[in-house]
């Protein structure tokens, strides 16, 4: 006879408010009251079958709409109506309601005595004082009260279980976050101990070579300076990456704020890679890629950077053609390189994740990515990214297929 849906403390549903169930109970109480007025000629009531008795019956039924907001006052009013006009259904509903909200045993005992007394007084004129009459009185008064108490206890149990489940879920999330932070800190330490150490040695060695007389030759000094500058830039980017991974949060561990590369940095990148790989690079730009969204510009920069790095590693000295074309359907990026002179690369180690990472980056922006070898030993990397870098609404059913690469070229 009440809304038994479990509610967490503080929920909006915990506030007293009318539900469809309240209107159903009220309608049933009104119907039962009117039927009792028509067929219950022998029912005991102090006012008898009079207009005031009928009005009290209707008022008792309508008062059930206030049982959530003012349960005690509604119970006293319905009890008075029950004594005067005999409204058993409304009285049973209120005994059930009081049982739902009662938790202390002494309160339950007071309600039991109250209910039995009201029911006994309301039936005093029409029921003989025998065992059957008192059994009816006790069951009618105590039955709804005990049912309501059982429903309230069950509701509290469900609420506590939900609260406990929420606490366990939050605890699990906190433990998982702690484990992730610890793992990221461990990776940051390993990268610092291994990668940063060796890159620092390269920078120190290149700096020391500047004081060697043999390194002052015009053909050698630019290469030494390039090694030093590339090493310093690598250390800066590595420190930024370590700052993202490190979870300790110490002031000295935070990465410096630096602007991310954009399409405006492409000419400098191409010029730098020309010197590093000692290879001719044709760079052609159509449109204005610097007007694209920031994440699209970063994707274009990383595409060109990774493709030129692969060309330096696997085909040093081979001609490379870079094309960035802005069109209606998006920005088209193509990087092609010929085969390595002599058929041999630089022999640098390769992780095999470079092109896969580019494919995932382009797919996240809703674009298309392709990488395949060319006749004659060359390689081509191409991508099309939508104008605003719109994310893919529905991922492909088979996932992102890894790009096709040949053994010895196209991976980094």
For residue 397, the surrounding DSSP H or E stretch is none
CA distance 298 to 303: 9
pLDDT digits (tens, 9 = 90+) for 284-329: 999 999 999 888 999 999 899 889 888 888 888 889 999 999 999 9
If DSSP codes are grouped into helix, strand and coil, which group holds residue 321?
strand
Q: What is the mean pLDDT of residues 102-114?
A: 83
Average pLDDT over residues 172-192: 79
Q: What is the mean pLDDT of residues 244-252?
A: 53
Distance in angstroms (rounded) separating the CA atoms of residues 208 and 198:
15
* End-to-end CA separation in angstroms for the chain: 70
88: nearest Cα among 153, 124, 135, 137: 137
Q: Which bin fits 48, alpha (ψ -120 to 50), beta or left (φ > 0)? A: left
**Predicted pLDDT at 353:** 61
Region of poorest pLDDT, from 77-86, 153-162, 335-344, 346-355: 346-355
Q: What is the DSSP letter of 127?
A: S
| Distance separating alpha carbons of residues 283 and 333, to the nearest angstrom | 11
Over the stretch 57-74, which tens digit does the pLDDT of each residue have? 888 878 888 888 888 888
**pLDDT for res 57:** 80
Q: Which two tokens stand for residue 317?
A: 């000295």
Where would I find the H helices in 66-130? 71-85, 88-101, 105-122
Kindly state the DSSP code that residue 10 receives in the 8-state scheme.
T
Q: What is the pLDDT of residue 321?
A: 94
Instruction: Kindly provide the residue ranges of all beta strands, DSSP E only, lying in 227-292, ordered along the sequence.
Output: 281-286
**C-alpha 39, offset from chain centre:** 61
Pick the residue with more confidence: 191 or 317? 317
pLDDT tens, residue by residue, 23-42: 888 888 778 777 766 665 44
The residue among 61, 55, 67 whose CA lies nearest residue 18 is: 67
* Cα 181–Cα 187–Cα 189 angle in degrees, nearest 5: 105
Interatomic CA distance for residues 4 and 22, integer angstroms: 12
Q: Give the predicted TM-score (pTM) of the model.
A: 0.46
């Amino acid at each position: 006879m009440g809304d038994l849906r479990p509610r967490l403390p503080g929920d909006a549903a915990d506030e007293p408010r009318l539900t469809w169930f309240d209107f159903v109970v009220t309608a049933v109480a009104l119907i039962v009251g009117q039927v009792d007025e028509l067929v219950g000629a022998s029912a005991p009531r102090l006012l008898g079958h009079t207009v005031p008795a009928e009005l009290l019956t209707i008022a008792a039924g309508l008062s059930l709409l206030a049982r959530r907001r003012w349960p005690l006052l509604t119970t006293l009013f319905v009890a008075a109506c029950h004594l005067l006009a005999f409204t058993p259904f409304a009285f049973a509903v209120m005994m059930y309601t009081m049982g739902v909200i009662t938790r202390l045993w002494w309160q339950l005992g007071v309600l039991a005595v109250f209910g039995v007394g009201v029911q006994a007084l309301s039936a005093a004129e029409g029921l003989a004082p025998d065992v059957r009459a008192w059994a009816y009185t006790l069951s009618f008064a105590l039955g709804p009260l005990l049912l309501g108490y059982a429903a309230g206890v069950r509701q509290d149990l469900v609420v506590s279980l939900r609260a406990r489940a929420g606490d366990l879920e939050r605890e699990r999330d906190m433990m998982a976050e702690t484990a992730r932070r610890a793992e990221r800190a461990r990776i940051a330490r390993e990268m610092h101990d291994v990668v940063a150490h060796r890159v620092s040695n390269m920078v120190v060695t290149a700096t020391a070579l500047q004081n060697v007389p043999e390194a002052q030759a015009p053909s050698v000094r630019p290469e030494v300076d390039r090694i030093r500058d590339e090493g310093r830039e690598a250390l800066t980017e590595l420190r930024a990456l370590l700052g993202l991974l490190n979870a300790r949060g110490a002031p000295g561990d935070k990465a410096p704020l630096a602007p991310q590369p954009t399409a405006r940095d492409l000419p400098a990148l191409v010029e730098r890679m020309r010197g590093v790989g000692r290879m001719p690079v044709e760079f052609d730009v159509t449109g204005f890629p610097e007007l694209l969204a920031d994440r699209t510009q970063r994707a274009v920069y990383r595409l060109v950077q990774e493709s030129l790095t692969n060309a330096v590693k696997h085909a040093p000295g081979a001609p490379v053609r870079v094309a960035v074309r802005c069109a209606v359907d998006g920005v088209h990026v193509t990087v092609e390189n010929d085969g390595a002179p002599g058929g041999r690369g630089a022999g640098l180690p390769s992780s095999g994740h470079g092109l896969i990472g580019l494919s995932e980056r382009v797919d996240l922006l809703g674009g298309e990515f392709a990488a395949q070898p060319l006749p004659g030993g060359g390689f081509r990397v191409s991508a099309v990214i939508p104008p605003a870098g719109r994310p893919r609404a529905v991922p492909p059913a088979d996932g992102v297929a890894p790009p096709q690469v040949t053994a010895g070229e196209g991976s980094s």
